[in-house]
């Protein structure tokens, strides 16, 4: 497979009167052709900054980037026609209609105006296309933004939080749309905070935290790498759970967590071993259910953003990347 998007060692420092802020600190990312790629990270971790840099809107302080095999920002004008993008709820001139907005973009980019009707239909704005953007709801503006990104019929589609403000039906439509686009050969990069959504539609993900990559790869790989699977264990009523947990620990189970009326056991190779170990103590298992790890818990673990009772986590309190994960160009 070929990489449609490669980023290596990207660095960006914002300077303002208040001082400097390292938004990106040696960030790497690779997206293969034809994939739907999830770009995840806590608030302020640098997702939008990465996408802006990639699209030539801001200047990086270091690092290399390539899109569709061309180095950017130097060769951006050559590939810009093949990148459709929305960056963080784009704004439109409020007094124009959706149709005017898109047809002006189409004119500026040399795209046939027929395409305007097509994309408006695609995002469900056909009947409201003659209304001024000012009168649109949040979700409708978001749909218009997606329409503007699709207008060029791009090879690479970059969407920064496209689901922002969409209704449940809209989110599902977006999901189908992404899949269809990917099947037609388009590569989609999707930043989102709705991890259930990402897990459903993405082939691969990159997780960023504090301006660095903390995980990357196919969804299955990331899940497998980062949390040993757990098993939920219930025993017959009336048995002392505390004693059972103790017994399992002495028998060699790495982690046993005591919950309300069951145990969570993780780090065990074969779940069947648990039945055996408990049978030794004359305790009979009534339920043994492997618990699927989900992207959300992996995300929270990797980025160190899991809520802690009694604390108000501040936006910049995130986990920094372990050094081993810092990859090089083209990795």
Partner 1 sequence: MSLYKAETRRLVKRRFTRWLVIGSLFALAAVAVGTAVTNSKVGPEQIAAAQAEAERYYQESVRYAEQDRLRCEAAKGTPEAGQYPADCGQMYTPSREDYGYQGYMTPTFDFREEFGNMVVTLAAILALAAFVIGASYVGAEWSTGGMMNLLLWRPKRLQVLTTKLLALLVSLAVLTVLTAVAWTGAFALIANLRGSLDSMTSGAWQSFALMELRALGLVLAAGAIGFGIASLGRHTALALGAVVGLLVVFQFGLVTVLSMAEVKFAEAWLLPIWVMAWMSKTVTIEDFNSCNYSADGCRPDQLTLTWPMAGGAMVVAVVLVVGTALWTMRSRDIT
How many residues at the interface with ligand ATP, by CB under 6 A? Answer: 12
Partner from ligand ATP, partner 1, Mg ion, none contacting 90, C-beta within 5 to 8 A by type: partner 1
Judged by beta carbon distances under 5 to 8 A according to partner kind, the member of Mg ion, ligand ATP, partner 1, none in contact with residue 115 is: none
Burial class (CB in 10 A: 0-12, 13-18, 19+), 153: middle
User: Residues 300, 306: contact at Cβ < 8 Å?
Assistant: yes
Sole binder of partner 1 in the list 29, 83, 219, 245 (CB under 8 A): 83
Binding flag, residue 152, partner 1 (CB under 8 A): yes
* C-alpha span between 137 and 294 (Å, rounded): 32
State the greatest distance between any 2 C-alpha atoms of the chain, in Å, as a whole number. Answer: 77
Handedness of CA 320, 326, 330, 331 (dihedral sign): negative
Q: Tell me: does residue 48 bind Mg ion (CB under 5 A).
A: yes
Task: Please tell me whether residue 110 binds partner 1 under the rule CB under 8 A.
Answer: yes
Is the separation of the CB atoms in 64 and 329 below 8 Å?
A: yes
Cβ-contact 263, 248 below 8 angstroms: yes
Give me the least distance between CB of 211 and ligand ATP, in Å please: 7
Q: Taking the complex as a whole, how short is the minimal distance between the CB of residue 208 and ligand ATP, in angstroms?
A: 7
Round to whole Å and give the CA distance between 285 and 247: 13
**Is residue 209 within the footprint of ligand ATP (CB under 6 A)?**
no
The backbone torsions φ and ψ at residue 111, rounded to the nearest 5 degrees and listed phi first, read: -100, 145
CB of 149 to partner 1, least distance (A): 8
Candidates 65, 85, 181, 195: give the one binding partner 1 (CB under 8 A). Answer: 85
Q: How far is the CB of 44 from Mg ion (least distance, A)?
A: 8
Instruction: Decide if residue 93 touches partner 1 (CB under 8 A).
Output: yes
314 belongs to the binding site for ligand ATP (CB under 6 A)? no
CA 209 to chain centre: 12
- Which residue, 21 or 132, has its beta carbon nearer to ligand ATP? 21
Report whether 91 contacts 75 (CB < 8 A): no
Q: Which one, 6 or 161, has the nearer CB to ligand ATP?
A: 161
Q: Is 87 in the site for partner 1 (CB under 8 A)?
A: yes
For the purposes of burial, counting CB atoms within 10 Å of the CB of 160, is it exposed (0-12), middle (13-18) or buried (19 or more)?
buried
Does residue 26 belong to the site contacting ligand ATP (CB under 6 A)?
no
Cβ nearer to partner 1, comparing 17 with 95: 95
Contact flags string 46-85 toward ligand ATP, x per CB under 6 A: xxxx------------------------------------
Q: Which parts of the chain fold into alpha helices (H)?
A: 47-54, 76-79, 98-109, 114-122, 138-150, 168-183, 195-201, 219-226, 241-251, 272-279, 295-303
21 binds, among ligand ATP, Mg ion, partner 1, none (CB under 5 to 8 A by kind): ligand ATP
Q: What are phi and psi of 5, to 5 degrees?
A: -140, 125
Residues that bind Mg ion (CB under 5 A): 47-48, 88
- Which residues bind to partner 1, rule: CB under 8 A? 14, 52, 55-59, 73, 76-77, 80-81, 83, 85, 87, 90-96, 100, 104-105, 107-110, 148, 152
């Amino acid at each position: 497979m070929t990489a449609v998007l490669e980023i290596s060692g990207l660095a960006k420092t914002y300077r303002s009167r208040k001082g400097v802020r390292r938004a990106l600190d040696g960030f790497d990312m690779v997206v293969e052709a034809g994939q739907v790629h999830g770009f995840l990270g806590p608030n302020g971790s640098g997702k939008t900054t990465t996408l802006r840099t990639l699209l030539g809107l801001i200047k990086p302080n270091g690092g290399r980037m390539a899109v569709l095999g061309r180095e950017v920002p130097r060769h951006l004008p050559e590939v810009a026609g093949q990148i459709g993008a929305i960056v963080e709820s784009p704004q439109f001139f409020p007094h124009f209609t959706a149709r005017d907005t898109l047809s002006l973009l189409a004119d500026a980019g040399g795209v046939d105006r027929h395409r305007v009707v097509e994309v408006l239909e695609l995002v469900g704005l056909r009947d409201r296309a003659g209304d001024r953007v000012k009168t649109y709801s949040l979700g409708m503006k978001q749909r218009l933004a997606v329409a503007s990104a699709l207008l060029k019929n791009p090879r690479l589609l970059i969407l920064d939080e496209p689901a922002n403000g969409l209704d449940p039906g809209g989110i599902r439509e977006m999901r189908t749309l992404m899949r269809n686009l990917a099947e037609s050969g388009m590569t989609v990069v999707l930043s989102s905070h709705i991890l259930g959504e990402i897990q459903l539609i993405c082939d691969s993900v990159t997780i960023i935290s504090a301006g660095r990559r903390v995980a990357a790869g196919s969804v299955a790989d990331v899940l497998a790498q980062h949390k040993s699977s757990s098993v939920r264990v219930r025993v017959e009523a009336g048995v002392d759970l505390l004693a059972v947990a103790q017994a399992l620990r002495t028998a060699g189970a790495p982690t046993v967590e005591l919950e309300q009326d069951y145990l969570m056991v993780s780090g065990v190779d074969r779940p069947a071993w648990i039945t055996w170990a408990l049978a030794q103590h004359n305790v009979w298992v009534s339920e043994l259910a492997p618990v699927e790890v989900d992207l959300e818990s992996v995300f929270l673990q990797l980025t160190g953003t899991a809520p802690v009772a009694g604390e108000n986590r501040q936006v910049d309190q995130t986990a920094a990347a372990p050094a081993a994960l810092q990859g090089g160009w083209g990795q």
